[in-house]
């Protein structure tokens, strides 16, 4: 029958063509593509950047835990610091204790400062001149078991044990010039000093022939009447200002053991600083 229902003849989409165009695939595709793009772009463009930007500036709701003192990295470093401070204190104490000992050692065995008292060495040395006396040769001679013998013409410091007969104190240190050496004959006569030895059996006048005499003009006339042969270990000394000097012409020869040292430098006054 022509009016019977035939499935094979039924249209697949009974929707009218006009509605099919309005509601079909072309109209639905923009809606289907817009939804997944919004769900993906929203967290990337808006949500995630806000979370990342807020994370470093947003303060934490709870304070950061305070490290325990035992776990602090500064605690182990405190012990070396304390030990270093103790070392510094001990070092300072050691320096303060050893410095005076070193000074005493230097003064006793190496060098010492002296001040001239009196006019007996004028014009070579003036009253109140400040001097440095070199003691090391004498110290070394005593270490090696020998007496220290200065050279002729040297200016020396020595101990004179008894000057009470001359109105001076006991055990006084004097400064004089060496004129005669052990074994030599020294004669003071007619205002001159003459020394006799093996090299000069006829005698010579050190005040004229040695550099300190400068041809005799530097040393004035030597008063006295002395004729002595010096025993071993003794020397004859005189002040350069012969008229005003208490020396071997009065108290005799000086034992080498009494010699303290040799004049090395005059340091004051600065205008007259000189090495001897």
- Rounded distance between C-alpha atoms, residue 54 and residue 199, angstroms: 110
CB environment 237-262: b (16+ within 10 A), e (fewer): bbbbbbeebbbbbebebbebebbbbb
- Residue pair 209/231 in contact by the 8 Å Cβ criterion: no
List all residues 6 or more positions away from 248 whose beta carbon is below 8 Å from its beta carbon. Answer: 176, 179, 180, 186, 226, 236, 237, 238, 254
**Catalytic center residues:** 120, 176
Task: In whole angstroms, give the CA distance from residue 173 to residue 66.
Answer: 77
CB–CB of 148/138 below 8 Å? yes
Enumerate the β-bridge partners of residue 159: 173
Cβ pair 120, 176 in contact under 8 A? yes
CA distance 33 to 135: 112
């Amino acid at each position: 029958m022509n009016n019977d229902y035939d499935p094979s003849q039924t249209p697949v989409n009974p929707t009218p063509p006009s509605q099919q165009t309005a509601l079909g695939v072309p109209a639905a595709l923009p809606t289907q593509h817009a939804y997944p793009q919004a769900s993906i772009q929203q967290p990337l463009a808006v949500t995630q950047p806000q979370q990342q930007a807020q994370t470093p500036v947003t303060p934490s709701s709870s304070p950061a835990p305070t490290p325990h003192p035992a776990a602090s990295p500064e605690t182990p470093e405190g012990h070396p610091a304390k030990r270093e401070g103790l070392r510094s204190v001990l070092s300072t104490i050691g320096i303060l204790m050893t410095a005076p000992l070193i000074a005493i050692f230097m003064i006793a065995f190496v060098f010492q400062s002296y001040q001239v008292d009196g006019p007996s060495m004028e014009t070579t040395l003036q009253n109140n001149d400040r001097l440095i006396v070199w003691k090391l040769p004498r110290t070394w001679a005593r270490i090696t078991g020998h007496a220290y013998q200065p050279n002729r013409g040297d200016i020396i410091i020595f101990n004179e044990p008894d000057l009470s007969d001359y109105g001076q104190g006991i055990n006084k240190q004097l400064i004089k010039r060496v004129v005669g050496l052990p074994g030599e004959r020294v004669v003071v006569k007619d205002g001159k000093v003459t020394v006799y030895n093996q090299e000069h059996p006829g005698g010579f006048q050190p005040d004229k022939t040695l550099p300190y005499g400068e041809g005799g003009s530097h040393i004035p006339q030597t008063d006295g009447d002395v004729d002595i042969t010096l025993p071993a270990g003794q020397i004859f000394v005189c002040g350069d200002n012969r008229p005003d000097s208490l020396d071997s012409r009065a108290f005799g020869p000086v034992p080498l053991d009494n010699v303290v040292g040799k004049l090395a430098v005059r340091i004051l006054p600065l205008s007259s600083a000189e090495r001897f």
